[in-house]
Structure 1
Amino acid sequence: MKNALDGAALDAALDHVRRAGMPGLFAEVIDGDQVWRGAAGVADVSTGRPVTADMRHRVGSITKTFTTAAVLRQVENGRIGLDTPIRRYLPKLVPGERGDAITVRMLINHTSGLAEYLPYAYPSLKGMPFVAETGPESLDDHRFTRFDPLDLIGMGVTAPPVGAPGGTPGLYSNTNYLLLAQLLEEVSGTTAELCITRDVIEHAGLRDTGFPAGPYMDGPHSKLYEAWFGMIDPPRDYSVFDMSYAGPSASLTSTVADLNRFFGMLLAGEIVSASSLAQMQRTGPVVSQEGQLMDYGLGLYPMESSGQAIFWGHGGTVWGGGTLAMTRADGRRQMAVAVNMQRWNRLDRAGHPQPHPIDEALAALYRVAMYG
């Protein structure tokens, strides 16, 4: 029987991404009881230090899946109602009629109509999602800023709404997940980070996953190079960065092995119940921060290719870093990939990101990883 994992093809696909312009990347692919791990390129462009497959990495919005799982465990315990108005739990944070209209579910699936706070916390991003009208200056201004989550929530709640509560398509907004963090704190009696750590990270036995205590990452890790659509040239390292701007919406650090373990257990019903998992897989249309229409469930979204098996997972970006984790619906095939540069596409005259060889190379890597 032919080996289901072609290590040579995976190595070649990984190196193709490096040759296309990515400083460094690493990945783990699983097929049943077979595991392949690989790395290509450098963790530090100035010293040539290589990346390795066991490095820790900022996983960005993959954090949202962990936060959702923690909320759903509280739903299962009867402490949170998925379709209960958020005003019942957090009357001061989302007051009035809007607090009565927005439910917990709407926060998780981005149909609350609440605006994104990032352009208000980072003034140079005020043009989001129209990237041509943004600039990277705020990234340097706020590298060591310790944001208060209540201030960030206030920015999103008081900004003009981006839609009616429950309306479709929804609009992806980190404001939703900072509110979910406050909800976890309200019902659990501890911080959201501790609640997620206890109920999800430790429950899953993840040894290299956690929330950063400050701007520095623990353990072996890569530098993270941000290009901001060619406006930072050469790309600048943002691996040292205070992640309080994201909190339980996007601040986790993990490894590709831990991510595969987490999503494998999640899809097997070992993190939340089968009924909760079914809720997570109920999808609707949401506009991403890049302005693309996507299907989104509860902290989880599908990836499929021309009628082939559906994969479930999440992607995430931070300044300079990106991660994608996907697990096939039957749990047998898994992929987690981490890259150490972001927003490599330059913009055309109309302000639209231009195709880049990295895009095609990553797509080829995903095809080899997911389908062999």
Structure 2
Amino acid sequence: MTGRLDPIALQAALDAVHEAGVPGIFAELRDGRDTFSVAAGVADTETGRPVAPDMRHRVGSITKAFTAAAVLRQFDADEIDLDTPIGHYLPRLVPDERGQAITVRMLLNHTSGLADYLPHAYPSLAAWPLVADTTPDSLADNRFTHFPRLELIALGVAAPATGAPGSTPGIYSNTNYLLLCELLEAVTGESAEKVITREVIERAGLTDTELPTGTRIEGPHSRHYESWLGMFEPPRDFSVYDMSFVGPAASLISTVADLNRYFALLLSGEIISCAALTQMQQTNPVIAFDGKTIHYGLGLHRVELPGTGVHWGHDGSVWGGGAISLTSADGHRQLSLAVNLQRWNRLDAAGIPQPHPIDAALASLVRTALA
């Protein structure tokens, strides 16, 4: 059980993230029946417009927790079997022996061995994850590029495998989740976006959450500032962007209040069945894009912080925008936050990203909020 929240300490921790270098940060924390909405800094560095807790924001890979839930609702309906090979459903997209070896579960938990397509779609990121050998040119070049999903999947499937199907640690890959979108379409006959919206977003009553169809964030929002390890100086605004490069793997727009509501309902068995939730919470080690090992289930992270116990949720990043949403195992404490700066770490002479004061301040905020 968590202790009683100190709102003054929470605001101070949020202010510290802003003072460490994030232009703007906002959050909602739920402590039992009490809700605290807090913000620090600016939404626009040119005008000084302040951030506010109710702003809409691109939340990146938190989207995967929604897409996974849509797949698990089809599991509940006996339309999808988690341990059936993806080649059974999508033989043309993942053909031959590989399609028979990779299961739906392996796509959900990133143990498929399928590489991420992004370095192949964005030429200046071809050296990823060796970030020192990348440039952010492709980010700007593709601001209004519409990527067909099947072309992105083909790039990921054609790339060298990152491991044998089912082997651990898995390697985080957006290719997996675009394939899951195609799976949803194959079994429902509707677009993945429509299924996720009806079966998950609307079911949860999330009025400020959507999978975008245009390049802009509608409603009050912050600009999204991308640094790309200091290669954009000053950081560049990417809040207007065609999100087809990730689609329902990472394109969701939401608010911190909607994220808390969603994970509260998901983890209490009100979005998917308790049997499906049990499957969702079966974790394995996965290597994330930053090289760190995470405990990943079926679209869900298991996070254990010193002195705070076990929490479930997800984090996410897009160009210029980031978010974190965590809920304690007992459901008593929730934190959802958003920041409007990404990849703030700088490279040393050897090309290795170095710790930044933002890292420590953000970790301290999470501990303060969840302890």
TM class, shorter-length? over 0.9
Q: Which residue of 1 aligns with 2:297?
A: 297
1:48 correspondence with 2:48: yes
Q: Distance between the aligned counterparts of 2:361 and 2:306, measured in 1?
A: 19
Corresponding residue for residue 317 of structure 2: 317
Specify the alignment match of 1:223 in structure 2.
Answer: 223
* 3-state SS of 1:36 partner: strand
Q: Which runs of 5+ in 2 are unaligned?
A: none
Structure 2 matches for 1:271-286, cutoff 5 A? 271-286=271-286
Matched, 1:5 2:5: yes
Runs of 4+ in 1 over 3 A off after TM superposition: none
**CA offsets 1:155-201 (integer angstroms, 9 cap, x no match):** 00011111111111110000000000000011111100100000000
- The AA in structure 1 aligned to 2:139 is L
1:197 and 2:197 are equivalent in the alignment: yes
Please say if residues 153 and 175 of structure 1, whose CA atoms lie closer than 8 Å, have aligned partners that are also in contact.
Answer: yes
The 1-side partners of 2:56 and 2:8 are apart by: 24
Distance of 1:124 and 1:369 partners within structure 2: 38
Does 1:61 find its partner at 2:45?
A: no
User: Which residue is equivalent to 1:211?
Assistant: 211
Residue deviations 1:193-243 (CA, integer Å, cap 9, x gap): 100000000000000000111111111000000000011100000000000
Equivalent residues of 1:5, 1:36 under 8 A apart: no
User: Which residue of the partner structure matches residue 120 of structure 1?
Assistant: 120
* Percent pairwise identity: 63
Residue 130 of structure 1, CA deviation: 1.3
Give yes or no for contact 1:5–1:34 (8 Å, CA) kept in 2. no
Aligned partners of 1:114, 1:228: CA distance in 2, in Å?
25
Range with bigger deviation, 138-147 or 3-12: 3-12
Distance change >3 Å, CA 52–CA 308, structure 1 → 2: closer
Query: Which amino acid letter does the alignment assign opposite residue 235 of structure 2?
Result: P
| Worse-matched range after superposition: 3-12 or 257-266 | 3-12
Whether contact under 8 Å (2:208, 2:254) holds in the other structure is: yes
Residue matched to 2:134: 134
Aligned 8 A contact 1:24 1:43 in 2: yes
Q: Tell me the equivalent position of 1:151.
A: 151
How far apart, CA to CA, are the structure 1 residues paired with 2:309 and 2:161? Answer: 37
Describe the superposition over 1:36-94 as per-residue Cα deviations: whole angstroms up to 9, x where unpaired.
Answer: 00011000000001100000000000000000000000011011010000011101100
Q: How many residues align?
A: 369
The CA distance in 2 between the partners of 1:110 and 1:31, in whole Å, is 32
Counterpart amino acid of residue 200 in structure 1: V
Q: Contact 2:295/2:303 (CA < 8 Å) preserved in 1?
A: no
Amino acid at match of 1:325: S
- 2:308 touches 2:367 (CA, 8 Å); kept in 1? no
Inter-partner Cα distance in structure 1 for 2:301 and 2:99:
26
Contact (CA 8 Å) 2:110, 2:170: kept in 1 or not? yes
Q: CA deviation at 1:5?
A: 2.5
1:307 deviation in Å? Answer: 5.7
Cα distance in structure 2, aligned partners of 1:214 and 1:91: 31
The one-letter code matched in structure 1 to 2:188 is S
Q: Is the contact made by 1:26 and 1:338 (CA closer than 8 Å) also made in structure 2? A: yes
In structure 2, what residue type is equivalent to 1:237? D
Task: Return the alpha-carbon distance in structure 2 between the equivalents of residues 83 and 126 of structure 1.
Answer: 33
Structure 1: 5+ residue runs without aligned partners? none
Distance in 2 separating the partners of 1:293 and 1:367: 19
Aligned to 2:236: 236
CA distance in 2, matches of 1:339, 1:307: 25
The residue correspondences of 1:325-340 to structure 2 (distance < 5 A) are 325-340=325-340
Instruction: Show the counterpart of 1:106.
Output: 106
Aligned-partner Cα distance in 2 for 1:126–1:332: 43
Check if 1:34 corresponds to 2:34: yes
Cα RMSD, aligned residues only: 0.9
What is the TM-score of this pair, normalised by structure 2?
0.98
Distance in structure 2 (CA, Å) of the matches to 1:288 and 1:17? 23
For 1:304, what is the secondary structure of its paired residue? Answer: strand
Counterpart for residue 90 of structure 1: 90
Normalised to the residue count of structure 1, the TM-score between the two structures is 0.98
SS of 1:351 mapped into structure 2: coil
Amino acid at match of 1:306: P
SS of the residue aligned with 2:335?
strand
